[in-house]
Amino acid sequence: MKAIVNSESLIYLNKLLNVDKYQVNVQKDGIKLSATKELKDTFYQVILTENTFGNEEEGKILIPKEAIKLLPKKEPCLVGDYYISTQNQKISFNEDTEFMELIEFNNPKECKCIPNFDFLMECKYAIEKDNVRPQLGSICIDKNNFVAMDGYRMGIRSIEDIITENEILIPEEVVNILKKIKGTSIATIQENNEFVKICFGRITIVYKKSELKYVNWRALINDVKKNIKVTLNVDDIKFILSQYIKLYRGYGSIVIFNINNKRSYIKSSKANEGIIKFERYISAELEGEEIEFAINARYLLDALKYHDSNFTLYMSSPVSPIILESKNKTDMILPIRLIK
């Protein structure tokens, strides 16, 4: 086989998915660079399509990742049988025939275009990390919503157009690949009985569908009563939370909101390094009863990261779930019960 590929494409593929070997497939319909990973419960493949010049020779080879690490950036590479060369170097490697065939995507359902894909992916912060409930280690696409949640919080991002009638789960391993792709404002998604395919221009990610069923997230949201409504400024709250997190070093920082009709404030829940108490007054527009509640500062900051301007906070009691809303964005966080 013989083909010319851009070194940047191979380097980028290595960045998207770190595997031991990368495959170059030269066929009549073009050049495809692929990386494949198999795990216990899933199988996924990343494919980059390269331009052709008309002088290619069909075939396929496997390039070890060590060879890719030696490539210069943004240079054309001549790839042949067990070597890859640029203008000033040539790397030879052992013959390897343990090829992973490109996934056959047969009998696909309707292909859907997803605008604002990067916006929808904002919910990824809430994916469960400890794998206690495997289905929560995914983003769930449900009609026009992207949803992620763990046992303490939920992120929902929505658009007007329906994406899928049936739930599609994007596993965390694929989410980690998607996070590395820049300029992902428009994507297409397609499924068949066995696989899901997500495309961004010349980048294609194909993975095996999960048999897991996502939790009934709508019931969790709909059960929350909205007796108390508070309008807050995003930038003010994010700044204050950042200060508390610095003081209490990360996820252990608990803050207390006191929302009232006189002068609302946020205060620290404990003393630290000589500071007995830290209170910060805030502007809050309250509708309903005055309330005081505690919340993990890092969880709240994670949820507010993508909110702009003002947001609305809803809850019914100091121990009821907290709903945060702004345009097409909904987040839910469980408060922390304080022992007085």
Q: Phi then psi for 334, rounded to 5 degrees?
A: -85, 135
DSSP string, 105-116: --S----EEEET
Q: Which residues, at least 6 apart from 331, have a Cβ–Cβ distance to it below 8 Å?
A: 126, 153, 154, 155, 156, 303, 304, 323, 324, 325
- Give the torsion sign (CA, 238, 243, 248, 250): positive
Query: Is the separation of the CB atoms in 83 and 70 below 8 Å?
Result: no
Q: What is the DSSP-derived secondary structure letter of residue 187? A: E
Q: How far is CA 151 from CA 125, 148, 314, 320, in A?
A: 13, 11, 19, 14
Q: pTM for the whole thing?
A: 0.89
C-beta separation of 25 from 31 below 8 A = yes
Distance CA 224, CA 210 (A): 29
Give the residue with greater pLDDT, 13 vs 100: 13
Which residues, in sequence order, are bridge partners of residue 114? 187
CA distance 270 to 235: 24
Six token digits for residue 20:
């031991």
Q: What is the pLDDT of residue 271?
A: 57
Q: How many whole angstroms separate alpha carbon 122 and alpha carbon 148?
A: 9
Question: How many whole angstroms from its chain centre is CA 114?
Answer: 15
Mean pLDDT of the chain: 90
SS3 238: helix
SS3 state at 231: strand
For 9-19, the pLDDT digits (tens) are 999 999 999 99
* Closest to 41 (Cα-Cα) out of 211, 213, 170: 211
pLDDT digits (tens, 9 = 90+) for 161-210: 999 888 999 999 999 999 998 776 889 999 999 999 999 989 999 999 98
**HSE, side-chain direction, 13 A CA sphere, residue 101:** 3
Lowest mean pLDDT among 128-132, 144-148, 149-153: 128-132
Rounded CA-CA distance 5/43 in Å is 26
pLDDT category of residue 275 using cuts at 50, 70 and 90: low
Rounded Cα distance between 145 and 166, Å, is 12
CA distance 46 to 37: 9
- The pLDDT tens digits of the residues spanning 61-77 come to 999 999 999 999 999 99
Q: So what's the pLDDT on residue 54?
A: 79
pLDDT score of 335: 95
